[in-house]
Amino acid sequence: MAPRSPREVATWAANAQDELSKLLAKRETSTHRVMTVTESYDKLTKLNIKQDKLFREALQCAEHGLYRSAHVTSFAALMDFVHEWIATNPVRLAKIQANYPAWNIKHAADFREQKDHTLFEVMKKQGLITNPMMKALQGLLAKRNECAHPEDYEPGINDSLGYLDEMMKRIATLQAIK
């Protein structure tokens, strides 16, 4: 039955657009593939407003072909999450404070003074993450550095979507740690 009212036409058009986007998302070079990563992102919980905003910006960057920016912005969201993940858990924070008193960590923002690579090593030494997780986070940092500094690396949509997906999986893994 054909839509009759303006509301029915609008609903039909929106549904048609969603279906078209899903079909286009199957094409390897289609920016509509961001939609599939957005669906993965929507499964994440416990992100603060800043992290949510940064991840959404990273997804928009990927959607508009700004692949280097997508890498850098999503890594900023990851690091904000990591800082909060440690600082809001008394046990995690106490381990860092006890073993690294010179860092003078009282709030999540205090972690910004530390190098990301070093923080990942400290997290592993304190038993907060596993060795494979540390190496994965350091790999994400290395990829971010390639995008943030003048390098020959020019990521494409597949690289960026894979990076964003990996970022979300790492956050989900951290969220599951009690």
Instruction: Report residues of the chain scoring pLDDT below 50.
Output: 26, 28-29, 32
Q: What's the CATH code, domain 34-176? A: 1.20.120
Q: CB neighbours (10 Å) of residue 142?
A: 10
Cβ atoms of 26 and 154 closer than 8 Å: no
| pTM of the complete model | 0.78
pLDDT at 28: 47
Q: What is the pLDDT of residues 77-128, one digit of tens each?
A: 999 999 999 999 999 999 999 999 999 999 999 999 999 999 999 999 999 9
Rounded to an integer, what is the distance from CA 21 to the centroid of its chain?
A: 22
- How far apart, in whole angstroms, are the C-alpha atoms of residue 100 and residue 139? 24
pLDDT at 17: 67
Cβ atoms of 37 and 62 closer than 8 Å: yes
Angle, helices 34-41 vs 49-63, to 10°: value is 170
pLDDT at 141: 97
pLDDT at 144: 96
Domain boundaries, the chain: 34-176
CA distances to 17, 21, 103, 154 from 146, rounded to whole Å, are 36, 31, 27, 9
